[in-house]
Amino acid sequence: MRCESVKNEHYKLAADDTDLRILQIYEERFPNLQSLIVNDVENDKIAEPFRRSVLNKFQIFSLFYIPITYEEKTARIARRLSMRFAR
């Protein structure tokens, strides 16, 4: 799901798929899906792959990426539904 709300049009990410590139970098660099909280984007080494590739056109001071997955919850719901309909 892609959703975006920005006050300044310059900061839109979805229009040119920047959000998808950020997700791709995140998945490649952090396969364990750890949360990233960066208070100093310009100097923090953990932000380097994002800064170099996609964030260089923005003035960003801090960022956070929190992975949200619904796989386990979705699987449980699907099992419950299948049990209900199987009766």
The pTM assigned to this predicted structure is 0.68
Q: Residue 83 has what pLDDT?
A: 57
Over the chain (87 residues), the average pLDDT of each successive run of 10 is 73 84 90 88 93 88 82 63 55
Q: Residue 87 has what pLDDT?
A: 46
DSSP SS3 for 1: coil
- Taking the domains of the chain in order of start, what are their residue ranges? 9-86
Residues 6 or more apart whose CB falls under 8 angstroms from that of 63 comprise 36, 37, 38, 41, 47, 50, 55
Structure token pair of residue 76: 């449980």
Distance of CA 2 to the CA centre of its chain: 10
